[in-house]
Amino acid sequence: MARNIGADRNGDVYRAVIVITRGGDTWTKHEGPYDKPGAARARVTFWVNYYAERDPDTFEPTGRSLAAGHIEKATTTWERVS
């Protein structure tokens, strides 16, 4: 699928790296690229909140999550290939 975002220019792009641990299994997912670091950080925050652990009696957040994450930066350089 084609995307027309700021990543279509030369420069820095960002992605969210989310690590989820559930039932003893751990997997990593990547989302992006994004043209701003804040957009990638927002995706990390979304998944940490989505997998937040809750108290079984009160359903209040415990402050722990099954997900953690960080963002990564890459520098793109576009060049003609044909």
Give per-residue pLDDT as tens, 7-64. 566 788 999 999 999 999 999 999 999 989 999 999 999 999 999 999 999 999 899 9
Cβ contact 31:51 at 8 Å: no
Whether the per-residue pLDDT at 81 is higher than 90: the answer is yes
- Predicted pLDDT at 7: 55
Phi/psi region, residue 46 (left: phi>0; alpha: psi -120 to 50; beta: rest), is alpha
Dihedral sign for Cα atoms in the order 26, 71, 10, 3: positive
